[in-house]
């Protein structure tokens, strides 16, 4: 049968697994062209009051099943060759480590030696993280990805270090881990829905870091904020390295709940009210009543961000450049709240962060969208990352 798709064209399913939703995308990849996103979907993860880690896990898998069903329907009988996942908090943990090899006599650094010392550091990280993982979700953690970011030989950066002699090697690498039960169940849903040729997994902080470095080649220092439903993830990058990743438990659902409580509305009604307000289509009287609620919520979120950044600034000087991505339509609230935050530069008077909102428009040339397809910024970022880095990194099965 004649096919409109050449042998150089493939379909890929892309998923973002966050703290309040699972997002999915159907991507057409054609050699020599930017990836084309044909379809996107967002399935909420319910967050009931009596939530337990096990129920939360089950709710996420249920949302993933629904997202997979929607992507299969959008594929219209065409085969999805690859499936890729990006995990955010609380599903994955990330860390940048420095592994050091020091010997009294010069030695030749090989990839095997570097891999061995990195593996030992990863085992320590997994053991530490396992103690903080909630019961009912994990009894074992696995490494999703590792990426060597920088190698210093005798204190000097070297772009091609293997095969060279040194007495000391400092290897900076980024690693991410995920509960084995989570990744096994997630990959199982892929096999049932798509029977793909390959499946891979990444952490969203690495996706964002790698993509921002690709787009801004001369930018070595910046802060990245990922505002999810229940959590805001913060990554600090200095000298081209992710030096810190942390989070605080206030995302866009916190804002929706604040309005729900103040106006005795359902979450759905509150979200609709907020959307109308930020699009300046709401009622003026209601807007006046909403203003103090927004001011209080902005202050609480900004204080939480300030507290986290203050802890980071004890160990490093903070970059002034801040990138922000928000997984909802309530973007304006968080952009304005982030702009109120300030950073001290070299002991001088504090100055506001330079805030850049990451949305689909910022990725023009890196991805394209089909007409009438929701331009999901997270799916766009993951797709753009995979186009450049996906064949090189991640765990495949």
Q: Are residues 152 and 296 in the same domain?
A: no
In 204-275, where do the E strands start and end?
222-227, 232-238, 241-248
Q: Are residues 82 and 171 in the same domain?
A: no
The verdict on residue 184 lying in a domain is yes
Q: Are residues 378 and 313 in the same domain?
A: no
Q: Are residues 20 and 166 in the same domain?
A: no
Q: Are residues 242 and 191 in the same domain?
A: no
Look at residue 396 in the predicted model and tell me its pLDDT: 46
Q: Which of 234, 378, 205 is nearest to 304 (CA)?
A: 234
CATH classification of the domain holding 120: 3.30.1490.110
Which tokens hold the place of 165? 């002699």
Q: Are residues 123 and 207 in the same domain?
A: no
Which tokens hold the place of 207? 């996706």
Beta bridge partners of 153: 156, 169
DSSP secondary structure code for residue 348 in this structure: S
How far apart (Å, rounded) are the C-alpha atoms in residues 357 and 351? 18
Look at residue 47 in the predicted model and tell me its pLDDT: 63
The verdict on residue 140 lying in a domain is yes
- Domain membership of residue 267 as a residue range: 217-358
The verdict on residue 394 lying in a domain is no
The verdict on residue 228 lying in a domain is yes
> Alpha helix (H) ranges present in 31-179?
53-75, 111-130
Residue 48 backbone phi and psi in degrees, to 5: -70, 165
Q: Which of 190, 221, 209, 184 is nearest to 393 (CA)?
A: 209
Confirm if 178 and 87 have CB atoms less than 8 A apart: yes
Q: Are residues 201 and 138 in the same domain?
A: no
Q: Are residues 249 and 116 in the same domain?
A: no
Q: SS3 of 242, please?
A: strand
The verdict on residue 2 lying in a domain is no
Q: What does pTM read for this prediction?
A: 0.84
Q: Are residues 301 and 171 in the same domain?
A: no
CB atoms inside a 10 Å sphere around CB 24: 29
The verdict on residue 79 lying in a domain is yes
How many domains does the chain divide into? 3
Q: Are residues 135 and 163 in the same domain?
A: yes
The verdict on residue 203 lying in a domain is yes
Q: Are residues 203 and 339 in the same domain?
A: no
pLDDT per residue over 57-83, tens digit each? Answer: 999 999 999 999 999 999 999 999 999
Look at residue 218 in the predicted model and tell me its pLDDT: 83
Boundary of a domain, candidates 124, 151, 178: 178
Residues of the chain below pLDDT 50: 1-5, 345-349, 392-397
Q: Which of 219, 225, 227, 216 is nearest to 244 (CA)?
A: 225
pLDDT per residue over 180-210, tens digit each? Answer: 999 999 999 989 999 999 999 999 988 998 8
Q: Are residues 290 and 270 in the same domain?
A: yes
The verdict on residue 60 lying in a domain is yes
């Amino acid at each position: 049968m004649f096919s409109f798709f050449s042998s150089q064209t493939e379909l890929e399913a892309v998923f973002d697994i966050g703290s309040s939703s699972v997002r999915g995308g159907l991507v057409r990849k054609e050699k020599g062209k930017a990836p084309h996103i044909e379809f996107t979907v967002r399935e909420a993860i319910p967050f009931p009051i009596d939530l337990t880690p096990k129920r939360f896990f089950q709710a996420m898998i249920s949302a993933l099943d629904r997202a997979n069903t929607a992507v299969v329907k959008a594929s219209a009988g065409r085969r999805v060759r690859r499936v890729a996942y990006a995990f955010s908090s609380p599903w994955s943990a990330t860390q940048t480590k420095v592994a050091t090899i020091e010997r009294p006599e010069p030695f030749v650094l090989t990839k095997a030696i570097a891999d061995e010392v990195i593996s030992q550091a990863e085992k320590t990280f997994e053991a530490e993280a396992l103690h903080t993982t909630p019961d009912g979700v994990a009894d074992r953690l696995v490494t999703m990805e590792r990426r060597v970011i920088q190698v210093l030989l005798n204190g000097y950066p070297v772009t091609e270090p293997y095969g060279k002699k040194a007495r000391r090697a400092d290897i900076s690498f980024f690693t991410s881990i995920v509960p084995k039960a989570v990744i096994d169940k997630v990959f199982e849903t892929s096999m049932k829905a798509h029977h793909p040729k390959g499946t891979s997994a990444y952490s969203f902080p690495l996706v964002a870091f790698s993509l921002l470095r690709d787009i801004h080649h001369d930018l070595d220092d910046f802060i990245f904020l990922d505002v999810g439903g229940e959590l805001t993830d913060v990554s600090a990058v200095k000298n081209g390295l992710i030096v810190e990743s942390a989070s605080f438990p206030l995302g866009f659902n916190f804002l929706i709940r604040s309005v729900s409580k103040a106006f005795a509305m359902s979450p759905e009604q509150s979200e609709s009210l907020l959307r109308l307000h930020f699009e300046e289509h709401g009622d003026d009287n209601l807007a006046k009543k909403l203003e103090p609620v927004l001011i209080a919520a902005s202050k609480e979120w900004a204080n939480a961000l300030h507290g986290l950044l203050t802890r980071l600034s004890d160990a490093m000087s903070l970059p002034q450049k801040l990138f922000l991505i928000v997984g909802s339509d309530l973007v304006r609230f968080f952009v304005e709240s982030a702009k109120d935050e300030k950073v001290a530069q070299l002991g001088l008077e504090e100055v506001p962060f330079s805030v850049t909102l990451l949305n689909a428009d910022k990725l023009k040339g890196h991805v394209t969208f089909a007409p009438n397809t929701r331009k999901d910024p997270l799916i766009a970022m993951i797709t753009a990352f995979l186009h450049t880095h996906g064949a090189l990194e991640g765990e495949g099965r």
